[in-house]
Amino acid sequence: MSVAMRKRARIFQLIFAPLVLAAMTLLAAADALAQCPLCRTALEHGGDAAARTMNIAILVLLVPPVSLFCSIFAIAYKKRKGDEDEKQ
């Protein structure tokens, strides 16, 4: 496969993957807006303090998956970057 074909394929992947992800997100929007009854009740009756606590809890729950994803991405990037340096 020529270099130009690989570049075109890579560009296609960089454009196609986000478009598919966006389409899947839009199709699942109704499910994403749903809340469990316990969370809804806590937010309705708890006031501003409950909302603040819920926001902090959401951020705390996001930390492990985001750090795991970033770690895997960084390892893959370093490995790919190292493979490209060896070819030159």
Among 8, 26, 7, which Cα is nearest to 18's?
26
pLDDT in tens, 12-41: 778 888 888 888 878 876 655 666 777 888
Phi, psi of 36 (to 5 degrees): -75, 150
The pTM of the full predicted model, rounded to 2 decimals, is 0.47
Q: Are 72 and 87 spatial neighbours (Cβ–Cβ below 8 Å)?
A: no
Among 44, 42, 68, 45, which Cα is nearest to 57's?
42
Range of the domain at 80: 35-88
Residue 11 has pLDDT above 90, yes or no: no
* Domains of the chain: total: 2
Do 59 and 18 reside in the same domain of the chain? no
C-alpha torsion 48→50→51→57, nearest 10: 150
Do 14 and 55 reside in the same domain of the chain? no
Do 53 and 19 reside in the same domain of the chain? no
Do 84 and 44 reside in the same domain of the chain? yes
